[in-house]
Amino acid sequence: MDEGVASFLVHFSGTLVQQSGSHAYIGGKTRSLTLCYTSGFDELISKIHDRIGAKPNEARLGVKFHVPMEFFQKLKFIDIEDGEDLQAVLGMFKNSSISLGMIYVTELKPIEGTQSISALPPRPAQGAKDVVGKEPSQTSYSVDGGGDLHIPIRTADDQYEAFDRSHALKQMHKFPRTLRDSKYFSENHRKPSAVSIGPYHSTNHSLQHLELKRRMAEEFYPKEKGNKLPEFLSSFATTIKEHNVEQEYIGIENLDNETFTEMMFWDGCFILGFIECILTRRIKKLGMKNDLIKSMQKDLFLLENQLPYKVLQVLIKLVGANEGFYEEMLWKFIKQNNNFLLPQTKYRSLLDGAKPSHLLELQLRTLIGKPSGQKPVSRPRDRRDHIRLFRCVKELKGAGIKFMPNQTGFIKDINFCPYGIYGTLTIPRMIINKSTRQMIVNLIAYEGEQNESWFTSYIYFLDLLIDDAGDVKELRTAGILDCCLSSDEEVAKLFNEIGTDLEPDTDTCSGIKEQINGYFIFRRKLSAVVWLVEGIHSHFKDSWAIFALVGVYIVAFLTAVQAYFAVFSGK
């Protein structure tokens, strides 16, 4: 495959494609249709077969598309329901803010066991132009064991730029279907329980708290300015138009501009006023019970309950407040509402000038740490053996590996340091409580939309380390896990359930796993030496006893040699 070119495969099961007018349909009772991407064809085939559970003799059709890699760096799995219109499938790219131009299928040859296809969508006329006036480029690929199929794809530099611009606007994401379909996922992880922020859950009137939001706006707005709240709202509406924040959300076309603007205003004022009351110990002004306040704090870190960060910036500037003060205030609020022991790092130093899209991204950035230029390492398929061989905590400890919390608190700072026949694995400390699962699921969901995997790889790494309650106990004893749940079994179950379908495409902990497995191989080769040293270390504490043991080994060896020659010298 050419470098810089990605691929995705569409698998149809059952009756194949039929045409009706200008549309092509998946006919009959199809079992599944999956679009996915990969940088390696073999890995792609394996993923598709695993995902749809296809058996070798089943009738299925593989359709291969080629597009530039830049499109697919932003994509994840897209699942389509059975019997979907093929045009609707292609239309999903438009819904995902991806402009590929027109895709024409000129030839399909079915995989073994299927019937031939006819009446496909017409091929574009020779020299046809796409919407930006560029000639379509054509690509063909031979599917192993399934014949050739040729898919010309219209591409143009202008379309690439349009894609980059449109995708950059969509920052207020929704939960991916792959997570929603997991049997370990609960709607409580996605939906707010106390307060709705933004349009996605605004139809639940019990979560609006309009009176509270108005009170927080009055708390946030400086009374000494003399202006009334309606004039403040009017100034906000004029300023926020320049930022096009409505384009950051998905599927809100039916929401009128005035309603949306007021929603941004009240929700933004609520967030800033609420956080300020929490941090300045003016909780009584909220007029709520502590349980409701805690629930609202958790709701502010849900993926589908986010407000664009630029809305907060506009509000701060309009009241003439010090932006640095509010940035540090948000940073303190993040530290107060996370499950990690974060360092005493200044907000500006941590983000290095970058602005987060919303509070959830700010939380993720604080956990990852300051940008260092370090890139996640792709994990090729032929190097996955070290993952399957990876040991749990008890086995690693039995092999001479000591566990310690790292000093930075950042999840990207996981290190393994071997020294002789021993080693130390340092991992960031994590607090496990009732809100941990919700925090993990939302960060994984958002990180997946950003084509990153620092946090996902860290959770996957912990899942590999933890098999049962005994592993949790070891990590708790080492000061890595601070468990506030009822039992170690409950903690182990949490990680094992989340990690069931979690294997990241790009694993930032891959190098650590390779180092640890290399350490195991080294110890096996020196097993006799390890046995001797550990025997000495376990049973003899003072130097004279050690010398005595070594002397015993030497005398025993010389006695054995003498006995051998005494027996066999006559022969």
pLDDT score, position 231:
87
Residue 130 structural domain: 5-167
Q: Which residues pair with 78 in a beta bridge?
A: 35
Clarify whether residues 102 and 190 are in a common domain. no
Whether 234 is in a domain gets the answer yes
Instruction: Among 167, 185, 212, give the residue marking a domain's end.
Output: 167
Using DSSP's 3-state secondary structure scheme, residue 315 falls into helix
Please give the tally of structural domains in the chain: 4
Whether residues 201 and 275 fall in one domain: yes
**Residue 409 counted as domain residue:** yes
Strand (E) or helix (H) holding 535? helix 527-539
Residues 316 and 259 in one domain: yes
Mark whether 195 and 154 lie in a shared domain. no
Tokens of 29: 């009772």
The pLDDT value given to residue 149: 30
Q: Say if 376 falls within a structural domain.
A: no
- Determine, yes or no, domain membership for 373: no
Confidence at residue 224, expressed as pLDDT on a 0 to 100 scale: 59
| pLDDT (0 to 100) of residue 199 | 95
End-to-end CA distance of the chain: 69
**pLDDT score of 137:** 35
**Within a domain: residue 374?**
no
Cα–Cα distance measured from residue 169 to residue 172, given in angstroms and rounded to the nearest whole number: 9
**Within this chain, do residues 200 and 132 fall inside the same structural domain, yes or no?**
no
Residue 77 in any domain: the answer is yes
428 domain-assigned: yes
- Looking at residue 518, its pLDDT comes to 86
93 and 140 in a single domain? The answer is: yes
Indicate if the alpha-carbon torsion angle 370, 371, 372, 374 is positive or negative. positive
DSSP secondary structure code for residue 506 in this structure: B
Q: In the structure encoding, which two tokens stand for residue 316, read together?
A: 């701060």
Q: Are residues 393 and 274 in the same domain?
A: no
**Neighbouring residues of 207: CB distance < 8 A, sequence distance ≥ 6:** 192, 194, 195, 196, 201
> Is the domain of 131 the same as that of 238?
no
Q: What is the pLDDT of residue 283?
A: 79
Q: Which of 127, 142, 167 is the last residue of a domain?
A: 167
Burial status of residue 439 (CB atoms within 10 A of its CB: 0-12, 13-18, 19 or more):
buried
Flag whether 172 is in a domain: no
**Residue among 520, 558, 235 at smallest CA distance from 400:** 520
For residue range 31-81, list pLDDT tens digits in order: 222 333 333 334 444 444 454 444 433 333 333 333 333 333 333 333 334
Q: Which of 167, 193, 225 corresponds to the end of one domain? A: 167
Per-position pLDDT tens, the chain of length 571: 332 333 333 333 333 233 333 333 333 332 222 333 333 334 444 444 454 444 433 333 333 333 333 333 333 333 334 344 444 444 444 333 333 332 222 233 333 333 333 323 333 333 333 322 333 333 332 333 333 333 333 333 333 333 333 444 468 898 887 788 787 788 888 899 999 999 999 989 899 898 899 888 887 877 655 667 888 899 999 999 999 899 899 888 888 999 999 999 999 999 999 999 888 888 777 788 889 999 999 999 999 999 999 999 999 998 887 778 888 888 889 888 888 876 666 555 555 556 789 999 999 988 987 655 455 554 544 444 444 457 899 999 988 899 999 988 899 899 999 887 789 999 999 999 999 999 999 999 999 888 788 999 999 999 999 999 999 999 999 999 999 898 999 999 999 999 887 878 788 888 899 899 888 887 777 665 555 555 555 555 555 565 656 665 665 556 555 544 543 444 4
Q: State residue 561's pLDDT score.
A: 52
DSSP string over 424-490: EEEE--EEE-TTHHHHHHHHHHHHHHTT--HHHHHHHHHHHH-SSHHHHHHHHHTTSEEE-SS-HHH
Do residues 336 and 430 both lie within one domain?
no
Residues 163 and 185 occupy one common structural domain? no
Cα–Cα dist 186/199, whole Å: 21
Return the closest-CA partner of residue 212 out of 223, 204, 220: 220
516 and 474: one domain?
yes
Residues 215, 106 within the same domain = no
